Amino acid sequence: MSDAKVVLELKNVDKSFGPIDVLHEISLKVREGEVLCLLGDNGAGKSTLIKTLAGVHAPTRGEILVDGEPVSFAGPRDAQDRGIATVHQFGGTYPLMSVGRNFFMGVEPTKGFGPFKVFDRATANRIAVEEVQKMGITRIDDGDRLVGGLSGGERQSLAIARAVYFGARVLILDEPTAALGVKQAAHVLRIVNEAKKRGLAVIFITHQVMHAMTVGDHFAVLIRGAIAADFRKGEKTREEITDLMAGGETMADLEASIEGYMETHEGHPPKTEPAE
């Protein structure tokens, strides 16, 4: 698949906030119809990287290329216009509003003339339900339903379907499965697959290796703002990836050190949390 068209590319991107370097020499390629999994522990710079991609931050050095052309985003809207859509952990949905109204937030379809534009509820509901069903969530069949009545996975799916409908080419999913149960996460993973099948480039941010391995084609592990490993599907095992995320320290070493600690501390585990 590596011969697919590169939609978004980062070349030696650095980002620093004042004297603090958060991202260091990041180079990444995101291809059409491919899922790039961005793995990393908390504080590794994942959010800064997403925000740089989404146009929230401008890179300090280096360049971002869309379709091979260098671009600089003036803001999130600018990135959205270029087809880069970000879906956040809680989906950006409004629980007490209907599916149709959620779907068209900010770009409401209207009917009528001049100043008497009327929100076209029927059209909004119809399109919203169609699009969500196309993504494989058939349980949503009424556009008037309140989003608060949907499951977390369905809300994520709604947000993803929305991004796809509004012409996203690169879909950035920020920890979409973090707060979800097993079944719900499966829902979201199915949608990610669906988006991939449609030729979208997906950047999937997660620290759940299992989820990453289920849908990922290409993996990048971020440690302290730099890419520590960049590999394709099948090149590394789950244990190896987990170890990488823990900062190179192998889980086996970690377990041994915890056991050692427990022996000398009356069976209590160390107070510091082991890395995931």
Interaction site with another protein (CB under 8 A): 76-77, 80, 86, 88, 90, 92-98, 101, 104-108, 110, 117-119, 121-122, 125, 139, 142, 144-146, 148-150
Nearer to another protein, 57 or 196 (CB): 57
| Helices of type H across the chain | 46-53, 76-81, 99-103, 121-134, 152-165, 182-197, 209-215, 238-245, 251-264
Instruction: Please provide the distance, in angstroms rounded to a whole number, between the alpha carbons at the two ends of the chain.
Output: 30
* Cβ proximity of 31 and 201 under 8 Å: yes
Q: Which two tokens stand for residue 244?
A: 């990488």
Closest distance between another protein and the C-beta of residue 35, in Å? 23
Nearer to another protein, 149 or 269 (CB): 149
Closest distance between another protein and the C-beta of residue 122, in Å? 7
Residue in the structure block whose two tokens are 């299992």: 210
Nearer to another protein, 33 or 76 (CB): 76
d(CA 10, CA 23): 12
Rg (CA), the chain: 21
Closest distance between another protein and the C-beta of residue 58, in Å? 18
Sign of the torsion angle spanned by Cα atoms 141, 93, 166, 50:
negative
Nearer to another protein, 88 or 233 (CB): 88
Closest distance between another protein and the C-beta of residue 106, in Å? 4
Closest distance between another protein and the C-beta of residue 160, in Å? 14
Nearer to another protein, 139 or 232 (CB): 139
